């Protein structure tokens, strides 16, 4: 895949709006994420998303981590320390990284879903490992930084290519992807400073290694201010 496909662009709809200067250096990525979070004045309600309800079902490509005890332990520790803020913690069995939305469930008949899976299986890049680095945030969440970004961007580009091959339009171009893993969602508009200060006390925790050996197509839903899903298919990376 040409490296030009992986060049990120500035965009106010992404967070951080500007990508880091180095897409693979963990220290620079973490510092960039922290600087962007430190500049937030007001945090927004993550769940205030037009078009989503308890009845919404949609297909997404995600990375899930059902067998990652180090990640679970880190998330549990952060949840405990952040509890006074009243955030909505991501359930320990639902930690994930969202890659891209495919379509609402009713929009894809089984034959088109099968065609997408076949096209994707042929396009997937090699397996890789990323580091989950404590701790930063966005306008609507507290989250781990992920590094390096390049293998995640390659995976996203491959998923997008397979969608196009299958006659689907990717919702977000790879150029706007900002890889991360959320640990807790903000559930109301509030001043950001108390959350930023609380996150600052967790920045020195050691990172965790997250092997990425497969990617999951899931049917996503919201339940009680948490994301839940059914795995439609897990495809191994090459």
How far apart CA 104 and CA 234 sit, in angstroms, is 19
What is the mean pLDDT of the segment spanning 66-81?
A: 97
Rg (CA), the chain: 17
- The domain of 65 spans 28-236
Counting residues of the chain whose pLDDT is more than 70, the rounded percentage is: 98
Q: What is the pLDDT of residues 200-236, one digit of tens each?
A: 999 999 999 999 999 999 999 999 999 999 999 999 9
Instruction: Confirm whether 73 is domain-assigned.
Output: yes
Instruction: Confirm whether 191 is domain-assigned.
Output: yes
Predicted local confidence at residue 6, as pLDDT: 77
Instruction: Confirm whether 3 is domain-assigned.
Output: no
Q: Which of 152, 146, 142, 151 is nearest to 133 (CA)?
A: 146
β-sheet bridge partners, residue 60: 101, 218
End-to-end Cα spacing for the chain: 14
Reported as a pLDDT band with limits 50, 70 and 90, residue 78 is: very high
Instruction: Confirm whether 45 is domain-assigned.
Output: yes
Please count the structural domains in the chain: 1
CATH number at residue 90: 3.90.1140.10
Per-state percent for the chain, helix, strand, coil, to nearest 5: 35, 30, 35
Sign of CA dihedral 10, 140, 208, 123: negative
pTM of the model: 0.95
Predicted local confidence at residue 50, as pLDDT: 85
How far apart CA 82 and CA 75 sit, in angstroms, is 10
Q: What is the pLDDT of residues 15-58, one digit of tens each?
A: 999 999 999 999 999 999 999 999 999 999 999 988 888 889 99
Instruction: Confirm whether 16 is domain-assigned.
Output: no
Instruction: Confirm whether 8 is domain-assigned.
Output: no
Instruction: Confirm whether 20 is domain-assigned.
Output: no
Q: Find how far residue 74's CA is from the centre of its chain.
A: 17
Instruction: Confirm whether 4 is domain-assigned.
Output: no
């Amino acid at each position: 895949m040409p490296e030009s496909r992986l060049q990120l662009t500035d965009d106010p709809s992404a967070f951080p709006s500007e990508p880091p200067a180095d897409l693979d250096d963990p220290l620079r990525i973490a510092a960039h994420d922290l600087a962007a979070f430190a500049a937030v004045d007001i945090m927004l309600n993550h769940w205030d998303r037009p078009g989503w309800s308890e009845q919404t079902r949609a297909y997404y490509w995600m990375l899930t981590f059902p067998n990652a005890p180090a990640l679970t332990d880190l998330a549990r520790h952060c949840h405990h320390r952040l509890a006074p803020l009243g955030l909505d913690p991501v359930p320990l069995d639902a930690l994930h990284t969202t890659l891209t939305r495919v379509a609402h469930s009713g929009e894809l008949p089984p034959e088109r879903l099968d065609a997408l899976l076949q096209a994707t299986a042929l396009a997937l890049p090699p397996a890789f490992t990323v580091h989950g680095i404590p701790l930063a945030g966005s306008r609507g969440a507290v989250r781990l930084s992920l590094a390096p970004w390049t293998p995640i961007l390659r995976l996203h580009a491959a998923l997008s290519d397979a969608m196009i091959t299958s006659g689907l339009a990717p919702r977000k171009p790879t150029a706007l992807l900002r890889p991360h893993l959320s640990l807790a969602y903000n559930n109301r508009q509030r001043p950001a400073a108390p959350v930023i200060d609380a996150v600052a006390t967790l920045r020195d925790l050691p990172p965790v290694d997250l092997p990425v050996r497969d990617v999951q197509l899931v049917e996503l839903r919201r339940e009680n201010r948490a994301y839940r899903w059914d795995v439609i298919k897990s495809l191994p990376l090459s």
